[in-house]
Structure 1
Amino acid sequence: MHRICFLLRVKPERLAEYETIHAAVWPEMLEALKATGWKDYSLFSDGRGLVVGCLQTDDFDAARRAMSATDVDARWQASMAPFFVDPQNPTEQLTPIFHLESQLESASASASASASASASKETPAS
């Protein structure tokens, strides 16, 4: 499962309307997102036009292709285009640089490996 984060830049004067629309997304759109592999999908707004999207998916490129093949996505994107600063390129994917759970898991694995190596050195040979 991959965690994806992206930015959207919404025209500040259209942000309130954009947020209102997202408070009650079309049921058909919700079902299409779910069916095409978008999991735990959220949007966050800074209140000034910057919107951050976060989701989990097995394959983001495949999920986007599947979503773009749906009729509802074409209608949704057409209705949302006027809200974006750059409607031709509304999203900017971010590169992950830190994930708490991954680093904790890595640190735990390193500590376990170090403990095992120390224990094997302390065990007298027969």
Structure 2
Amino acid sequence: MSGRDTVPGAPLLYLYRLKPGAGPEYDHAHEAVWPQMLALIDEAGIEDYRIWRHEEIVVCRLRMRQGFEATAAMLAASDIQQRWTASLAHLFEQIATESGEPLWLDEVFRFKARADS
């Protein structure tokens, strides 16, 4: 596991790098996510999962009912997750660091308007 956990409901962001030209196929796969995969995402406690893509860069944002570690463990134990990941593996250039850590996105700036503005 990563050692990077979250409190319930806190957002967690990471990225993937696709192989050159793999974007359209990646998009197409996500237009038809398997119903079993969608059920697993819900069962694992993911309450909000968003993916954005710019060329070969994919950004993912999750909010989970449990922390990341518990959610990731449940997904990793699933045959459905393993098959989904294997079906897309040929599209990825990089999904983790050399040590296996996800490619985390760390917040470096935030502006939040005051409530009385």
Confirm or deny a common fold (TM above 0.5): yes
SS at match of 2:12: strand
SS at match of 2:21: helix
TM superposition score normalised by structure 2: 0.77
Identity %: 30
1:14 aligned residue: 22
2:31 aligned residue: 23
Letter of the aligned partner of 1:16 in structure 2? P
TM superposition score normalised by structure 1: 0.72
1:60 aligned residue: 68
Q: Shift of the alpha carbon at 1:97?
A: 3.2
Out of 2, 5, 29, the position equivalent to 2:13 is: 5
37-46 or 88-97: which moved more? Answer: 88-97
Contact kept, 8 Å, 1:81 with 1:87, in 2: the verdict is no
In structure 2, do the counterparts of structure 1 residues 6 and 37 end up closer, same or farther at CA, with 3 Å as the change threshold? same
1 or 2, which has the higher strand percentage? 2
Runs of 4 or more, structure 1, over 2 Å off, are 86-91, 96-100
Q: Shift of the alpha carbon at 1:61?
A: 1.4
Structure whose CA Rg is larger: 1
Contact kept, 8 Å, 2:96 with 2:103, in 1: the verdict is no
Task: Tell me how far apart the structure 2 counterparts of residues 68 and 37 of structure 1 sit (CA, whole Å).
Answer: 13
1:117 aligned residue: none
Which structure's relative contact order is higher, taking Cα pairs within 8 Å and 6+ residues apart? Answer: 2
Contact kept, 8 Å, 1:9 with 1:85, in 2: the verdict is yes
SS at match of 2:29: helix
Alignment RMSD, CA only?
2.2
**Unaligned 5+ residue runs, structure 2?**
1-8
Task: Tell me how far apart the structure 1 counterparts of residues 13 and 96 of structure 2 sit (CA, whole Å).
Answer: 19
Q: Shift of the alpha carbon at 1:44?
A: 0.3
**Unaligned 5+ residue runs, structure 1?**
112-126
2:91 aligned residue: 83
Q: Shift of the alpha carbon at 1:75?
A: 0.5
Letter of the aligned partner of 2:75 in structure 1? M
Number of matched residues?
Answer: 104
Task: Tell me how far apart the structure 1 counterparts of residues 29 and 20 of structure 2 sit (CA, whole Å).
Answer: 15
2:5 aligned residue: none
Work out whether 1:95 is the aligned partner of 2:88.
Answer: no
